[in-house]
Amino acid sequence: MRLQEALDGRWAHVRQAARDRLAGGRFVAVPGETIGQARARVTRLLRELPADLCAAGFPAEYGGAGDAGAAVVAVEMLGFLDLSLMIKAGVQWGLFGGAVAALGTRRHHDSFLKDIVSGDLLGCFAMTETGHGSDVHRLQTVCEYDPDTESFDLHTPYEAARKDYIGNAAQDGRLAVVFAQLVTGGRGHGVHAFLVPIRGADGEPLPGVTIGDDGHKAGLLGVDNGRLSFDHVRVHRDMLLDRYGGVALDGTYSSPIDDDARRFFTMLGTLVRGRVAVGGAASSATKEALTIAVRYGETRRQFTAPGRDREVVLNDYLAHQRKLTIALATTYAFTFAQDELVATLHEVQSAAEPVDEHRQRELESRAAALKAAQTWHATRTIQTCREACGGAGYLAANRLPGLKADTDVFTTFEGDNTVLLQLVAKGLLTGYRDSFGSLDGWGRTAFVAEQVREMVLERTAARSLIHRLIDAAPGGGDERAFTDRGWQLAMLEDRERHVLDGVIRRLRKNSATRERPFDVFNDVQDHALKAATAHTDRVVLEGFVAGIERSADPAAHALLSRVCDLYALSRIEADKGWFLEHERLTPARAKALTGIVNGLLKELRPQMTTLVDAFGIPDEWLASAILREEPRRQEEMASGS
């Protein structure tokens, strides 16, 4: 069965190259290191990674492969090996190098990209400040142009404005892309990015630069996160990354985009790749945890049962299947949705001409939705896998503690998930129009017109296929089988539309009745977040459906189809309160749904290991002691008793 081929998707060749070229245990995380050991090892390994694979996003002339999609997929693959190394590579090539490439112009590229790609010049992406992480529009670092010296003055006015949590800052970075409020001629032009040397060749901070260390973290010990403060540091005029805004010698500001906020969000939009990569790497860690828990659950036995000679293997228990198989199905769904997202990213970022704004906004919204969904799924699922392995799951040698601790921050970095879902909701409400303002209480959303939602609800890939499936069978909900794909799609689409209608209705009403403008939005915040998750569920299911359609192998197609049933129906089951409340399910049908899900779990029981094997994670990458030890122990016990 060609299941792995279906999962490997469009960049299968990159995945296979990673399996081959990063084979063995050399790049695999090492449990129990001190922070010093972890940082030293990861810094060393970063330079040993094949740049043409891991930095594939850069143009070939600078050492890359000019393949944006491949770059994201390579980072996803590093997620199987060592999440510190993945983040370190992501900081160097994705955030730092990516910002130089996307926000800089030819002279920056020619001066720096080659050394960035080769790893000879390590750098930082210094956006987040201690006081502002989510609302980056309001960063407090100031960079003011002085026409007399023809240079900028970069300054941190108070502690809350220092750059914080910056990867590569505490130990390795020599150059930083620093985001700061650009001021010239006494006037602010919003946030811009500057290339700022922070360390000399001796590794010491340069004059005026103060570097702090974020110290011990929950995980990612191999990443040297730190803090940067600037005391009136002089920055050469050439070091403004000026693709979206430049300052002439006399201090005159010019930009192809007039509005400050709109310009900044356009700049941010070019950096979407990091968010896409984090979602994908979160799913890599999830796949690794599931592979460990499912394989362990296939050998580990506990409790006797009548009619069984030996104790029962954990995977035979319904409660275990409820934990692991549903998480597996969800992970499959995300894999296909992520593959589609990477393809969209690749298409947008490889286009000769800038793509239209609608397409760019759609990419950002999908990236936000899938990043939030995949990272929360990782946090929950790795936790579940840890628990499913009992005490063994708590030992560092069995890998799960590292996966959990390292991915934990994924839910709040590269965009806090709750904030990201708000952005998704805002996009849904405004139909991607007029979405460049800050999250200013959503006051403007009250003016949203009905018709813009048509655009939002546009179906994803394989639009005609999904259209056909939904319209395939006549009749209402109760006449269609639970496993009718069209019914599943229609349920999720209908929920999204209905929730969105409700949010709009309430916002309109609130605008007229609430005394405090803040309450207009805040009163419906939970409802708006629900719109975003309902939207995400629908997009993910459509991605899964389209992915199955691409699978040519009949056996793989059939199995994927059952997994897709489990994904769709478990999502509906998880929110059956909503479907009942809105009379989309009758009580009798809602009760029956639980039986259908349990039936699917039973049907998929023999396929649990097949499903994790198809993730294609080399044994040496798994590096979990129990996978070697438990089968031997069970044999000893069986023969010894």
Which residues are known to be catalytic? 414
Q: Does 408 bind a copy of itself (CB under 8 A)?
A: yes
Where in 73-102 is the site for a copy of itself (CB under 8 A)? Answer: none
441 binds a copy of itself (CB under 8 A): yes
Nearer to a copy of itself, 109 or 217 (CB): 217
Radius of gyration of the chain (CA): 25
**x/- binding map, residues 421-440, to a copy of itself, per CB under 8 A?**
-----------------xxx
305 touches a copy of itself (CB under 8 A): yes
Site string for a copy of itself, 330-369 (x = CB under 8 A): ----------------------------------------
> Candidates 134-142, 428-436, 492-500, 539-547 — which segment interacts with a copy of itself by CB under 8 A?
134-142
Cross-strand partners of 301: 313
Selected binder of a copy of itself within 26, 118, 149, 158 (CB under 8 A): 158
322 near a copy of itself (CB under 8 A): yes
* Sheet containing strand 209-213, strands side by side: 163-166, 226-230, 209-213
Give min distance, CB of 480 to a copy of itself, in A.
19
Among 16, 522, 561, 609, binds a copy of itself (CB under 8 A): 522
Angle at 74 between CA 70 and CA 79, to 5 degrees: 150
**Residue selected from 150, 298, 311, 549 as contacting a copy of itself according to rule CB under 8 A:** 311
What is the DSSP-derived secondary structure letter of residue 628?
A: H
| Span 590-619, contacts to a copy of itself by CB under 8 A | 590-591, 594, 598
Q: Number of C-alpha atoms within 13 angstroms, CB side, residue 460?
A: 27
CB 402 within 8 A of CB 625: no
**Nearest C-alpha neighbor of 444 from the set 457, 454, 429, 455:** 429
The answer to whether residue 576 forms part of the interface with a copy of itself (CB under 8 A) is yes
Number of residues that bind a copy of itself (CB under 8 A): 97
The C-alpha atoms of residue 45 and residue 165 are separated, in whole angstroms, by 21
Contact pick of 13, 26, 308, 358 for a copy of itself (by CB under 8 A): 308
Q: Which is nearer to a copy of itself, 212 or 246 (CB)?
A: 212
Single out the residue of 581, 603, 619, 628 in contact with a copy of itself (rule: CB under 8 A): 581
Site for a copy of itself in 365-394 (CB under 8 A): 379, 383, 386-387, 390-391, 393-394
Q: Is 135 a binder of a copy of itself (CB under 8 A)?
A: yes
Pattern 249-288, binding to a copy of itself, x per CB under 8 A? Answer: ----------------------------------------
Pick out residues in 215-234 that bind a copy of itself (CB under 8 A). Answer: 215-219
The DSSP annotation for 525-583 comes to HHHHHHHHHHHHHHHHHHHHHHHHHH---HHHHHHHHHHHHHHHHHHHHHTHHHHHHTT
Looking at 135-143, 183-191, 198-206, 458-466, which segment touches a copy of itself (CB under 8 A)? 135-143
The span from the CA of 388 to the CA of 108, in Å, is 50
Token pair in block for residue 354: 């800038």
In 232-257, which positions are buried (b, 16+ CB within 10 angstroms) versus exposed (e)? ebebebebbbbbbbbbeeebebebeb
Between 341 and 593, CB nearer to a copy of itself: 593
Give the Cα separation of 560 and 426 in Å (integer): 33
| b/e code 544-575 from CB counts within 10 Å (16+ = b) | bbbbbeebeeeebbebbeebbbbbbbbbbbeb
**Is 413 one of the binding residues for a copy of itself (CB under 8 A)?**
yes
Please identify, among the stretches 50-58, 273-281, 305-313, 449-457, the one whose residues bind a copy of itself according to the rule CB under 8 A.
305-313
**CA–CA separation, 79 vs 73, rounded Å?**
10
Contact (CB, 8 A) for 184 and 153: no
For residue 275, the minimal CB distance to a copy of itself (Å) is: 16
Helices marked H in 431-553 — which ranges?
453-456, 463-471, 485-513, 517-522, 525-550
Which residue number, 387 or 603, has a Cβ lying nearer to a copy of itself? 387
Q: What is the DSSP string of 90-128?
A: IIIIIIIHHHHHHHS-HHHIIIIIHHHHHTSS-EEEE--
- Cβ-based nearer residue to a copy of itself, 248 or 439: 439
In whole angstroms, what is the distance from residue 59 CA to residue 51 CA? Answer: 12
Rounded alpha-carbon distances, angstroms, from residue 362 to 276, 349, 432, 436: 13, 13, 7, 14
Which of 542, 584, 585 is CA-nearest to residue 564?
542
Contact 280, 374 (CB under 8 A): yes
Distance CA 492, CA 446 (A): 25
Among 24, 186, 207, 306, which residue sits at the site for a copy of itself (rule: CB under 8 A)?
A: 306
Residue 160 interacts with a copy of itself (CB under 8 A): yes or no: yes
Residue from 16, 105, 130, 609 touching a copy of itself (CB under 8 A): that is 130
Is residue 537 within 8 A of residue 571, CB to CB? The reply is: yes
- State the nearest-atom distance from the C-beta of 597 to a copy of itself, in Å: 9
Binding segment toward a copy of itself, per CB under 8 A, in 192-200, 246-254, 298-306, 543-551: 298-306
**Within positions 9 to 68, which residues make up the interface with a copy of itself, using CB under 8 A?**
31-32, 34-35
Applying CB under 8 A, does 186 fall inside the site for a copy of itself?
no
Is 164 or 340 the residue whose CB approaches a copy of itself more closely?
164
Asked if residue 282 lies in contact with residue 80, where contact means CB atoms within 8 angstroms, the answer is: no
User: 313 or 465: whose CB is closer to a copy of itself?
Assistant: 313
Q: Which is nearer to a copy of itself, 311 or 553 (CB)?
A: 311
> Is residue 583 a contact point for a copy of itself (CB under 8 A)?
yes
Binding of a copy of itself at residue 587 (CB under 8 A)? yes
- Binders of a copy of itself among residues 534 to 553 (CB under 8 A) are none
Instruction: Please give the residues from 455 up to 514 whose contact with a copy of itself meets the rule CB under 8 A.
Output: none
Q: Please say which residue, 464 or 639, places its beta carbon nearer to a copy of itself.
A: 639
Q: Does 634 bind a copy of itself (CB under 8 A)?
A: yes
Nearer to a copy of itself, 360 or 411 (CB): 411
The two three-digit tokens of residue 591, written as one number: 């009760």
CA–CA separation, 80 and 280 (whole Å): 11
Quickly tell me which residue has 């994201």 as its tokens.
Answer: 72
Of 49 and 183, the one with the shorter C-beta distance to a copy of itself is 183
Residue 517 found at the interface with a copy of itself (CB under 8 A): yes
Whose Cβ is closer to a copy of itself: residue 246's or residue 502's? 502
- Residue of 171, 335, 381, 417 interacting with a copy of itself (CB under 8 A): 417
